């Protein structure tokens, strides 16, 4: 199985290009996670895996320099788009050796964990890094959703190398985070639409984001409508009904 680092060293630049093309498309999922994390002035947070800095940019947009965000990203090519404003650590998510134990207030992670088979070492590393009373907030693809089927059926067929996402079942975070020392785990499945000005923009964005080299535009459109669902807004905009599972937890003691 191709691992996270290999996947995004190969196609992370396309992911970043899609975000530049349509920076507001995924705003709902980003805002939902930031609100779940609920940063406070003076806190130090790591975003892991940070990708091209999309989540870190959202935190900075909302809080400026009142919150310190450190970007941990294993794939160097993917991290090339991270704003130099942020400290970047090119280390595995399960071994952030550059940071001391109990040195962070929070950890946040958006839609990167499903590329990693064994997540428990990552959760144990998060437990090491956050201070007592610190917290984590995560969001990723949920099992049994149209989003999961779109990725592991359609994208898997049409992206070079396939897509074998290891998605999150209900209660999985509660079980595994508790096992790794966290408490007060809360989980929720949310619909967080990706928003576009037109159907063409939606197709362009998804072709770039997922590197759909082997699919034509009609196939991409049909798959989005079939697996995920689309709503048209009164002003002509398009909402692609993306779903993610969200969770948060605390480190006690």
Contacts of residues 22-27 at CB distance under 8 Å and 24 or more positions apart, as own/partner, are 22/196, 22/201, 22/204, 22/205, 24/195, 25/194, 25/195, 25/196, 25/205, 26/54, 26/192, 26/194, 26/242, 27/58, 27/195
Mean pLDDT, range 133-154, rounded to an integer: 98
Q: Under 8 Å CB-to-CB from 226, ≥6 apart: which residues?
A: none
Please indicate, yes or no, if residue 87 is contained in any of the structural domains: yes
- 25-66 pLDDT, tens digit per residue, is 999 999 999 999 999 999 999 999 999 999 999 999 999 999
201 close to 23: Cβ distance less than 8 angstroms? no
Mean pLDDT, range 143-163, rounded to an integer: 96
Beta strands in 158-242 (DSSP E): 182-191, 194-196, 230-232, 238-240
CA distance 187 to 48: 19
Residue 46's nearest CA partner among 15, 75, 69 is 69
Please indicate, yes or no, if residue 68 is contained in any of the structural domains: yes
Please indicate, yes or no, if residue 212 is contained in any of the structural domains: no
CA angle 75, 27, 153 (to 5 degrees): 60
pLDDT of residue 10: 87
CA distance 146 to 182: 30
Q: Is 248 helix (H, G, I), strand (E, B) or coil?
A: strand
pLDDT of residue 2: 55
Tokens 């966290």 appear where?
A: 182
85: tokens are: 């404003």
Q: What is the number of structural domains in the chain?
A: 1
- 98-109 pLDDT, tens digit per residue, is 999 999 999 999
Please indicate, yes or no, if residue 158 is contained in any of the structural domains: no
CA angle 219, 224, 227 (to 5 degrees): 110
202: tokens are: 């939606």
CB atoms within 10 A of CB 234: 5
Beta sheet of 238-240, edge-to-edge order: 194-196, 238-240, 230-232
- CATH classification of the domain holding 180: 3.40.50.150
Please indicate, yes or no, if residue 201 is contained in any of the structural domains: no
Domain range for 122 is 4-144+163-193+244-251
- The pTM of this model reads 0.96
Please indicate, yes or no, if residue 12 is contained in any of the structural domains: yes
Please indicate, yes or no, if residue 153 is contained in any of the structural domains: no
Mean pLDDT, the chain, rounded, equals 96
Statement: residue 83 has pLDDT above 80:
yes
Please indicate, yes or no, if residue 224 is contained in any of the structural domains: no
CA angle 58, 62, 64 (to 5 degrees): 100
């Amino acid at each position: 199985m191709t691992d996270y680092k290999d996947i995004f060293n190969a196609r992370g630049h396309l992911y970043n290009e899609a975000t530049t093309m349509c920076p507001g498309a995924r705003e709902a999922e980003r805002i939902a996670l930031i609100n779940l994390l609920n940063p406070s002035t003076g806190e130090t947070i790591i975003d892991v895996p940070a990708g091209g800095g999309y989540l870190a940019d959202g935190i900075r947009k909302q809080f400026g320099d009142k919150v310190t965000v450190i970007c941990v990203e294993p794939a160097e090519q993917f991290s090339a788009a991270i704003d130099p404003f942020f400290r970047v650590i090119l280390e595995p998510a399960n071994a952030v050796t550059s940071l001391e134990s109990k040195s962070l207030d929070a950890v946040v992670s958006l839609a990167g964990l499903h590329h990693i088979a064994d997540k428990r070492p990552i959760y144990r590393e998060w437990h090491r890094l956050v201070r007592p009373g610190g917290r984590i907030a995560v969001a990723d693809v949920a099992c049994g959703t149209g989003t999961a089927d779109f990725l592991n059926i359609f994208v898997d067929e049409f992206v070079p190398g396939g897509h074998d996402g290891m998605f999150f079942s209900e209660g999985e975070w509660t079980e595994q985070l508790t096992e790794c020392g966290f408490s007060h785990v809360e989980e929720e499945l949310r619909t967080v639409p990706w928003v576009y000005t037109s159907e063409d923009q939606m197709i362009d964005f998804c072709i770039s984001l997922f590197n759909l080299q082997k699919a034509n535009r009609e196939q991409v459109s049909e798959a989005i409508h079939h697996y995920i669902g689309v709503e048209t807004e009164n002003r002509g905009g398009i909402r692609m009904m993306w779903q993610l599972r969200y969770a948060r937890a605390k480190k006690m003691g």
